[in-house]
Amino acid sequence: MSDKPDNGAMTMTPATTTGAPAPSAAFYRHYALFLLVLAYTSSHVDRNIVGIVLQPIKAELGASDTAMGFLGGFAFALFYATLGMPIAMWADRGKRRDIVALSIAIWSAMTALCGMAQNFMQLAIARVGVGIGEAGSSPPSHSMIADLYPRKQRSTAMAIYSLGVYFGVMIGFVVGGYVAQDYGWRATFFVVGLPGLLIALLVRFTLREPMRGASDGVVHDAEARASVKEVFRHLWSTKSARHVVIGVTLVSFVGYGGLVWGPSYLFRTHGLTPKEAGLFLGPVAGLVGGCGALLGGFLSDYLGKRDMRWNAWVITVSKILAVPFFITFYTASDISTLFIAYAGSTVLGAFYLGPSFAMIQSLTPLHMRASASAVMLFVLNIVGLGFGPQAVGLFSDWLTPSYGVDGLRYALFGTAFLGLWAAFHYYLAGRSYQADLAAMGHQG
């Protein structure tokens, strides 16, 4: 198969061409999106599987909550976030498909190696390897999707891509809960890691590199280059992009803290087994969260056609509406009430990913789209994935002497209110979004 972009039936019709894309082109771009979703699902299975096995690992290795917070956060996030930027700059110039395929192979192999760790240090090193692999996945994937789908469909396409987060969490919690309880935490890493190698082969040998700028009707300047400093400057000086990055970072701080420590909260405070916690969290996170992601992307595109500010304000409203649900989730004692509250907070909490990714891509020139995504993910993951689980672990150790097993409950409850701060930044992003697009030459 040729490594050159295919400008024929297998790519999307450029925005300047009248009429709908050819059936083969429409089918292929949907297939490409499906495969990228599959890859993203694999990454979130492998990334988040540590949450369901955190308690048995802690028991076997005798680690503190602070140490386990490091394992679920910084051990993965530091290299994942840092290496994402140079890899994304490579993706802005090279073959994004090949980078994604290689990344999948690395993180899948390193996840399996986690099951062979004999001590905490070995496990932490293997988790670093998972982070190194996953660093090369999302930025080039975002860039490819932006070249496959026009701006008015981009929030929906990115929302579909973000389903990988929720499907990954669901598979990780459900499969991980069963395997961990019946076969041990080591077997869990083998079961979820090895299938990714097949996905890597599918990406490498069935996807084609899309033409850059095709969906925007813009000719890509192959000589254009942007340094990391220039990308940072662009995102910071573009008001709406700056507020989107801050907002998505705050949301991720809360979200990753909840993902890593949610199963342990159900173990400690409510006495659930790994299987029970997996069945409680997994289907809701996957199915309800997936529906929320699709709904958020659809509403952003639908309302944004009438008023562009709603691309961001959809998220503002969802974060405000989610407050009663997460308060109930962390204060109620009845399992049925917890389930309803978790479902409500999950569907609303999932609104943000698709519109956030889409706005960053739309606000960024072609030659720095993968790099802009990497910069956003760098900030998001250092603060959100790195500090989120770590902060919850620190607060839990601090509160446990006074509140016992409920120390973790109150640590999670307190950090959840940062979602309101995020809502304010999305409100500010919406106010300047149309002007920032106009300044880049986009028309409504």
| 68 CB neighbour count, 10 Å cutoff | 24
Confidence (pLDDT) at 223: 53
Residue with tokens 């369901």: 52
- Cβ 237 vs Cβ 243: under 8 Å: no
Place 374 in a pLDDT band, splitting at 50, 70 and 90: confident
Residue 104, judged by CB atoms within 10 A of its CB (0-12, 13-18, 19+), counts as: buried
CA 179, 262, 161, 94 dihedral sign is negative
* Residue 216, domain member (yes or no): no
Domain span holding position 141: 23-208+226-439
| Residues sharing a CB contact under 8 Å with residue 331, sequence separation 6 or more, in sequence order | 413
Confidence (pLDDT) at 24: 57
Nearest CA-CA partner of 147 in 216, 221, 231: 216
Residue 62, judged by CB atoms within 10 A of its CB (0-12, 13-18, 19+), counts as: exposed
Mean pLDDT estimate for the chain: 84
* Residue 263, domain member (yes or no): yes
Query: pLDDT tens digit string along 113-124?
Result: 988 888 888 888
Higher pLDDT, 94 or 252: 252
Confidence (pLDDT) at 214: 62
Query: pLDDT tens digit string along 136-178?
Result: 888 889 888 888 888 788 888 888 898 888 888 888 888 888 8
Per cent of the chain over pLDDT 90 is 36
Residue with tokens 């006074």: 402
- Cβ 72 vs Cβ 51: under 8 Å: yes
Cα separation of 343 and 281, whole Å? Answer: 9
Place 6 in a pLDDT band, splitting at 50, 70 and 90: very low
Per cent of the chain over pLDDT 70 is 90
- Cβ 348 vs Cβ 319: under 8 Å: yes
| Residues sharing a CB contact under 8 Å with residue 208, sequence separation 6 or more, in sequence order | 1, 2, 5, 6, 10, 11, 28, 32, 97
- How many structural domains are present in the chain? 1
* Residue 5, domain member (yes or no): no
| CATH number, residue 86 | 1.20.1250.20
pLDDT of residue 369 exceeding 80: no
Cα separation of 362 and 233, whole Å? Answer: 16
Query: Both tokens of residue 241?
Result: 């992009």
* Residue 213, domain member (yes or no): no
| 86 CB neighbour count, 10 Å cutoff | 14
Dihedrals phi, psi of 438, to nearest 5 degrees: -60, -40
Confidence (pLDDT) at 244: 96
Place 14 in a pLDDT band, splitting at 50, 70 and 90: very low
CA 6, 138, 362, 376 dihedral sign is negative
Helices (H), 184-213: 185-193, 196-206
Average of per-residue pLDDT across 386-397: 88
Confidence (pLDDT) at 57: 84
Nearest CA-CA partner of 73 in 97, 93, 45, 54: 54
Q: What does pTM read for this prediction?
A: 0.71
Query: pLDDT tens digit string along 211-241?
Result: 776 665 554 444 556 677 888 899 999 999 9
pLDDT of residue 59 exceeding 60: yes
- Cβ 380 vs Cβ 65: under 8 Å: no
* Residue 16, domain member (yes or no): no
* Residue 15, domain member (yes or no): no
Dihedrals phi, psi of 441, to nearest 5 degrees: 100, 5
Place 246 in a pLDDT band, splitting at 50, 70 and 90: very high
Amino acid letter, 122? Q
Half-sphere exposure of 46 (CA within 13 A, CB side): 36
- Cβ 189 vs Cβ 50: under 8 Å: no
